[in-house]
A and B are shown apart, each in its own frame.
Chain A
Amino acid sequence: MPDSSAVEQLQERYKDRMGGALGQPMPVAAVTSNTVPWELLRAAGFFPVLLSPPAGPTTHADAYMEDVFDARSRGIFERFLSGEWAFIDTLVIPRTSEQEHKLFLYLREVARQEPERKLPRVLLYNLPHARSAEARIYGLERTRELIEALPPALSGSLEAAIAEGNAARHALRSILDLRSSRLSGAKALPLIGAFYFMDRAEYAALAARAARELAGLPALQGPRLLVKGAALPHPHLHAAIESHGAIVACEDDWWGSRAAGEDIREDIDPLEAIFEKYYLDEPSPRVFPPSAAEAWFLQALSAVDGVVFYIPPEDDVFGWDYPRLRDLLDRRNIPHLLVSADASPATLSAEWHARIDEFVLGIKR
């Protein structure tokens, strides 16, 4: 990879995830998932940031939170209780997973029982993910309600935020385009993931520059794989797979190939346009029915040589889809591998590397 300041800056933002928010003169609004409209928070005068806690002890959270919570929810809860994230003004949690709703309830309860703690204002964005006429009406009403719960936006600021977000998506897509030929998955994920942690006007400029800088990379060789399963807020699994000569060309994951999606329409009512984007185009474990949830995956299969399913031990969702999707791939003669180890540490075990190696070699043969 060339020594590029734009690439390095994006990598740095991906690594130092709260760094951009910490130095902000604007109030910070945090979100727990991709399904909270960034544009609404931006228009309301916030610096929006996605919460993605690093691994670490969770002594404060452990007093209230049972073992069944995933590491990400526990890590978020921990950092609010410890006071590390006391600079966050508002937290918006979407109804995008059951764990997030519980996180909302737990934070409210700690605030109720221990009013002396400095906790952010917490809002639940009740965005439904079932595709039904009633859910659509309900979701649009909740989006209106979310706007009303935020500080009033200046005239034209919503349109400006949509334009800013779309420009960032456009630049992000230019990075994604490089994955078809020159950019490995492990190197792409940080450049994509920085989208969630920084000012999007700045991201648009940096990502566009980074794409130009990366355009001269040599073409990659090797089987092209798709990663499907639990969300991956780190590139460790990709790095492990690619160390065996394969290329992770895409992943059904909002931390990767599905980060940008479609632009928000600029030719209709901005609120409706924002709602449509987040209701219909953002991945979520609760998208229903399966035909809607899996449309992207099924389409992406045509451009890959194999699939790696990632189901870490803490999973309680994707494991339900796996047997059916595995059988579907078998019917289509698409090779697949299940990785059921936790890939969040920087290294997978030698045993898992051997399995990956065998899988990649099998495809090459």
Chain B
Amino acid sequence: MAERQLRCTTAASEHQKTWFAELRRDVFEHRKPYAIVQADMPLELFQVMRVPVVSNQWWGAIVAAKRLAPYYLDRMNEAGYHDGLCRYCSLSLATSLVGDPDQAPWGGLPRPALVAARLTCDCIQRIFSAWGEVFGSEFVALDAPGATDLPPRWWELSRHRWTELFEGHRLDFMVAQFQRLIAALERITGERFDENQLHALMEGVNRQEELFEEVRELICSAPRTPVRMHEQVANVMAAQWVRGSEWAVQHARAFRDEVKARVDEGIAACPGERLRLMWVGAGLWHDTDFYTAFEERFGAVFVWSMYLAFGPDGYIRYGLDDPLKALASRTVSMNEQLHNPPWANEWIVDQALRHHIDAALVLRPLGTRPSATGNLFIERALKKAGIAVLPIYADMVDARGWDPAAMRCTVEGFLEKLSARK
């Protein structure tokens, strides 16, 4: 486990453990409903209806960090699911299919009242159908039409001109589907949905993401990065899963304050920082130590990942007269923004330049297709902008094909050349 330099990081970690223990207690002892959802779902609707959510990707990352992915994925393969199927989106399902709560992190996932996902990749409907079947839970699916009009510099439009950026027909369709999801949540909870509460929550999300934007700017402008990438991720994602809530906004503020104090006091995450690195893609959840492995010898610090940077650009929406439509605009295009041309390549190059990045390590996922696309466009664009690129062939949750020593050696070779040029 990589060193934690920020008090906030410990607080975020403890919050998540406590939250999950409370969730299990509420579900088992008080029969309260909760949901398992895909990460790109409108989590805000669940919050307004007071239905806690476990994100598929968050749970998968926990399982991977506990080094349990090989065990579960092997069991999946033995059950007849071939080893070419996507792993990031299905590892959490594997824990439910295999069962064995003694093995699962924190006692495992209890039965949810519903499972819900956007039908992005063709496998998602199958994974969540299987999940619903395992638990005997309702599956609410939201169809995901493709983006057809993609102005390249989307982040310049997403805050104020989101109605035109995300195409009216896609927003209206998503809102119509939200109504079906809301009806399911009302049925489960016996409560009525209140659009005013959603409006207030959306305002909270804006506050939270504005605080993250301040952190991002601090990282861009500080002579050396004040906070390591893995601590950025821990703090940001703990808040994103409950975004807009009182705790999330408070945590974002505490995070901003702590990072700002470090900058004011001239504290660097790595005092010997000489190379600023960018990690493109989902996290390497089974080997997070990788992100600090090159500091001592090369002064190479991972400064950027999408997790913090995407918050302000991807989530802030001003003009909340129709909060459902604003929420739809946050939901409909996440995959295009992060993983597909032209949005992903244009945005990542812009981020690299703002963060004074020397080199990008681009994850080429071996077993996860949705986030495996767009990478060659991203790599070409980064190189064109003068940023060195090293592709990393790995799976974000599956450690079975990962050789930590060999991969570190590869990166060191790359950094040696980079250091010599600098």
From A112, A130, A145, B152 is in contact (CB under 8 Å) with A112
Tell whether, in the assembled complex, residue A112 and residue B173 are in contact, meaning their CB atoms are under 8 Å apart.
no
Cβ contacts under 8 Å, A315 to chain B: 82, 84
CB of A98 within 8 Å of the partner chain = yes
CB of A180 within 8 Å of the partner chain = no
CB of B306 within 8 Å of the partner chain = no
The answer to whether residues A97 and B122 also contact, given A126-B145, A134-B176, A319-B84 and a CB cut-off of 8 A, is yes
From A102, A129, A321, A323, B340 is in contact (CB under 8 Å) with A102
Cβ contacts under 8 Å, A311 to chain B: 82
Which one of A46-54, A166-174, A243-251, A284-292 is at the B interface?
A284-292
Tell whether, in the assembled complex, residue B81 and residue A98 are in contact, meaning their CB atoms are under 8 Å apart.
no
- A-B CB contact pairs (8 Å), 27 listed: A66-B372, A66-B376, A67-B364, A68-B369, A69-B373, A98-B121, A105-B147, A105-B150, A112-B342, A128-B145, A129-B143, A130-B141, A132-B143, A134-B173, A134-B180, A135-B173, A138-B169, A142-B145, A286-B119, A288-B143, A289-B129, A289-B141, A316-B369, A317-B126, A320-B85, A322-B80, A322-B82
A52 to B120 Cα, complex, angstroms: 24
Residue in A closest to B369 when the chains form the complex, CB atoms: A68
Cβ contacts under 8 Å, A69 to chain B: 373
Tell whether, in the assembled complex, residue B121 and residue A138 are in contact, meaning their CB atoms are under 8 Å apart.
no
The smallest beta-carbon distance between A165 and chain B, in angstroms, is 25
**B-to-A contact residues, CB < 8 Å:** 79-82, 84-86, 119-123, 125-127, 129-130, 139, 141, 143, 145-148, 150, 152, 169, 173, 176-177, 180, 336, 340-342, 345, 364, 369-370, 372-373, 375-377, 380
Tell whether, in the assembled complex, residue A320 and residue B79 are in contact, meaning their CB atoms are under 8 Å apart.
no
Tell whether, in the assembled complex, residue B177 and residue A132 are in contact, meaning their CB atoms are under 8 Å apart.
yes
9 cross-chain pairs, A with B, having the tightest CB-CB distances, nearest first: A320-B126, A109-B341, A323-B80, A101-B146, A134-B176, A126-B145, A128-B143, A130-B143, A68-B372
Cβ contacts under 8 Å, A106 to chain B: 341, 377
Tell whether, in the assembled complex, residue B340 and residue A137 are in contact, meaning their CB atoms are under 8 Å apart.
no
CB of A197 within 8 Å of the partner chain = no
From A66, A124, A138, A326, B148 is in contact (CB under 8 Å) with A124
A354 to B101 Cα, complex, angstroms: 42
Tell whether, in the assembled complex, residue A98 and residue B120 are in contact, meaning their CB atoms are under 8 Å apart.
yes
Interfacial residues of chain A within 93-151, with CB under 8 A of chain B in the complex: 95, 97-98, 101-102, 104-106, 108-109, 112, 124, 126, 128-130, 132, 134-135, 137-138, 141-142, 145
- How many residues of chain A get a CB closer than 8 Å to chain B's CBs? 50
The answer to whether residues A286 and B125 also contact, given A126-B148, A134-B177, A320-B130 and a CB cut-off of 8 A, is yes
A253 to B19 Cα, complex, angstroms: 47
The smallest beta-carbon distance between B123 and chain A, in angstroms, is 6
Tell whether, in the assembled complex, residue A66 and residue B180 are in contact, meaning their CB atoms are under 8 Å apart.
no
Cβ contacts under 8 Å, B147 to chain A: 105
Residue in A closest to B86 when the chains form the complex, CB atoms: A316
Cβ contacts under 8 Å, A112 to chain B: 152, 342
Cβ contacts under 8 Å, B130 to chain A: 320, 324
Residue in A closest to B133 when the chains form the complex, CB atoms: A324
CB of A4 within 8 Å of the partner chain = no
Cβ contacts under 8 Å, A98 to chain B: 120-122, 369-370
The answer to whether residues A63 and B119 also contact, given A68-B369, A130-B141 and a CB cut-off of 8 A, is no
CB of A340 within 8 Å of the partner chain = yes
Cβ contacts under 8 Å, B150 to chain A: 105, 108
Residue in B closest to A317 when the chains form the complex, CB atoms: B122
Tell whether, in the assembled complex, residue B176 and residue A316 are in contact, meaning their CB atoms are under 8 Å apart.
no
Cβ contacts under 8 Å, B373 to chain A: 66, 68-69, 102
Residue in A closest to B339 when the chains form the complex, CB atoms: A102
CB of A296 within 8 Å of the partner chain = no
Residue in A closest to B139 when the chains form the complex, CB atoms: A289
Cβ contacts under 8 Å, A323 to chain B: 79-81
CB of A363 within 8 Å of the partner chain = no
A141 to B145 Cα, complex, angstroms: 12
Cβ contacts under 8 Å, A141 to chain B: 169
Cβ contacts under 8 Å, B121 to chain A: 98
Residue in B closest to A105 when the chains form the complex, CB atoms: B340
A135 to B145 Cα, complex, angstroms: 10
CB of A231 within 8 Å of the partner chain = no
CB of A178 within 8 Å of the partner chain = no
A150 to B2 Cα, complex, angstroms: 57
CB of A266 within 8 Å of the partner chain = no
Residue in B closest to A315 when the chains form the complex, CB atoms: B84
CB of A262 within 8 Å of the partner chain = no
The smallest beta-carbon distance between B89 and chain A, in angstroms, is 10
A314 to B84 Cα, complex, angstroms: 7
Cβ contacts under 8 Å, B141 to chain A: 130, 288-289
The answer to whether residues A137 and B176 also contact, given A64-B376, A130-B141, A288-B119 and a CB cut-off of 8 A, is yes
CB of A83 within 8 Å of the partner chain = no
The answer to whether residues A340 and B82 also contact, given A95-B146, A132-B180 and a CB cut-off of 8 A, is yes
A65 to B139 Cα, complex, angstroms: 33
Hey, what's the 0/1 contact readout for A277-312 against B, CB within 8 Å counting as 1?
Answer: 000000001101110000000000000000000010
Tell whether, in the assembled complex, residue A109 and residue B82 are in contact, meaning their CB atoms are under 8 Å apart.
no
Residue in B closest to A313 when the chains form the complex, CB atoms: B84
The answer to whether residues A285 and B122 also contact, given A112-B342, A311-B82, A316-B85 and a CB cut-off of 8 A, is yes
The smallest beta-carbon distance between A56 and chain B, in angstroms, is 20
10 more A-B residue pairs beyond the given contacts A105-B340, A130-B143, with a C-beta to C-beta distance below 8 A: A66-B364, A108-B342, A109-B342, A124-B148, A130-B119, A138-B145, A142-B169, A286-B122, A289-B139, A317-B122
From A101, A137, A320, B123 is in contact (CB under 8 Å) with A320
The answer to whether residues A105 and B145 also contact, given A68-B373, A98-B122, A290-B129 and a CB cut-off of 8 A, is no
Hey, what's the 0/1 contact readout for A312-349 against B, CB within 8 Å counting as 1?
Answer: 01111101111110100000000000001000000000
Residue in A closest to B176 when the chains form the complex, CB atoms: A134
A129 to B139 Cα, complex, angstroms: 16
A104 to B336 Cα, complex, angstroms: 12
Residue in B closest to A326 when the chains form the complex, CB atoms: B80
The smallest beta-carbon distance between B366 and chain A, in angstroms, is 9
Cβ contacts under 8 Å, A124 to chain B: 146, 148
A137 to B169 Cα, complex, angstroms: 11
The smallest beta-carbon distance between B152 and chain A, in angstroms, is 7
The smallest beta-carbon distance between A355 and chain B, in angstroms, is 16
The smallest beta-carbon distance between A27 and chain B, in angstroms, is 22
A145 to B167 Cα, complex, angstroms: 13
The smallest beta-carbon distance between A286 and chain B, in angstroms, is 6
Tell whether, in the assembled complex, residue A64 and residue B143 are in contact, meaning their CB atoms are under 8 Å apart.
no
Residue in B closest to A130 when the chains form the complex, CB atoms: B143
Cβ contacts under 8 Å, A101 to chain B: 146
Tell whether, in the assembled complex, residue B342 and residue A316 are in contact, meaning their CB atoms are under 8 Å apart.
no
A139 to B370 Cα, complex, angstroms: 24
Cβ contacts under 8 Å, A95 to chain B: 145-146
Cβ contacts under 8 Å, A316 to chain B: 84-86, 122-123, 369
